Structure 1
């Protein structure tokens, strides 16, 4: 915790108290999204009435590999806020760290590497977002992309590249986001797909 506080304070220019508040909020954000892991199917899924001798269920399932362009101005809380909803449903993430302030993201991956998270679930890239984003947007093995940290002037080009391989896109926000606000499950659902199963009930 102390290392994260030091890195956030050094990068954002925040005082120790403000940096500590951001780190605590990031921890709470992990807890919030982890709590959805066994509830999202009940919220987003359904048992569907059908005219026939069948059970019909719709359940959310992970999209697959999700590219995440982390927010540029919130290197820890913003990063956690876009990463946690991607992996909570079973997706894997390729994360482009904040170009301005990458150090908290690097430290976070060190924490994840020694946690119970399976290897390969979170993969971090550091570098220029404008160079890495087009490759991820056009990559056929990436199933979705979160453009949160994209340059607004370049985001339309990334969307066009993603459309070529039918990639799911979560668009960049028009206004800077306040990551201290209470999150909601809609960001989780942005990276799920609905599978509907028909099962005969018997004679």
Structure 2
């Protein structure tokens, strides 16, 4: 005898943070609300605290040595794999961005395609950076003098609510061997944590990219004053607040930059340092 089909119970997704390759809840237990364009409730992502930021920096610092010592080819291949996984989940990102932003589904589709292409573009720079930024310097005496570029270390990123700019900032920071702590505003929380799921199932070592959702007004000053963060991309912060962040970052000579839209290798090189090596001729 046929029975009436029961309606399904919707499985609600719990959005957490992404730290050291895992998905912990905020230690504060705080959350915030994300709604759709029409005001319908979507989710309660975690509202990251100062302790969460410290944990993310610790994870990024621990991962930095291994990531920077990986060959440029290896880093590039790992980033290419992430692009492949983004391509495979493009429909999901398009739906989430259309749901939580002011973009139409058609515009969201274009944005996601551009973001994937942008990630591939930055990945392609992994084994070309030294050719662009390195140099053999003319010196007096029987010496060779070389300048080579090295990653700066741990880079914090304050993202805007644009998924494309979020992708831009992360790819530019990590392709050279830096690790990152990404601060994500509320409007981007849902696609940002879906991106974290991509990272967690890729070949990316734990701690290379850490993602914290919450309030940039809270998190950015803490990142600026944190003594174990070497660089800070503040492109997602209002310009009127840049001065305070640069002042807070001055104590440990933190390199703080803001970038406009568009892809450029200058965004990669901004968080690299030049090391000069002297070598005797004939030795």
TM-score by length of 2: 0.66
Pairwise CA distance, 1:59: 0.7
Find the partner of 1:124 among 203, 208, 211.
Answer: 211
- CA distance in 1 between counterparts of 2:102 and 2:226 reads 36
The residue correspondences of 1:155-174 to structure 2 (distance < 5 A) are 155-171=242-258
Within 2, Cα distance between the matches of 1:24 and 1:98? 22
More helix per residue:
2
**Equivalent residue in structure 2 for 1:50, among 113, 124, 139:** 139
**In the alignment, structure 1 residue 9 sits paired with structure 2 residue 98:** yes
Q: Distance in 2 between matches of 1:88 and 1:23?
A: 20
Aligned match for 2:280, one of 192, 196, 200: 200
Count, aligned residues = 194
1:99 and 1:47 map into 2 onto residues whose CA distance is 46
Superposed displacement of residue 71, structure 1: 1.2
Within 5 Å, give how 1:89-108 maps onto structure 2.
Answer: 89-108=176-195
CA, structure 1 residues 120+107, in 2 after alignment: closer, same or farther (shift >3 Å)? same
* 1:86 is the counterpart of 2:185: no
Instruction: Identify unmatched segments of 5+ residues in structure 2.
Output: 1-89
RMSD of equivalent CA atoms: 1.3
Q: Which runs of 5+ in 1 are unaligned?
A: none
Q: Is structure 2 residue 155 aligned with structure 1 residue 66?
A: yes
CA distance in 2, matches of 1:55, 1:100: 52
Q: TM-score, normalised by structure 1?
A: 0.91
Q: Kindly state the Cα deviation for residue 98 of structure 1 after the two structures are TM-superposed.
A: 2.4
Q: Tell me which residue corresponds to 2:198.
A: 111
For the pair 1:188 / 2:268, whether they are aligned, the reply is yes
CA-to-partner distance for each residue in 1:112-159, whole Å, 9 max, x for gaps?
111121110000111110100111100000001011111323221111
Cα-to-partner distance string for 1:23-76 (whole Å, 9 max, x where unaligned): 10010001100110000111011011111111111011000000000013x1x2
Whole-angstrom CA distance in 2 between matches of 1:66 and 1:46: 25
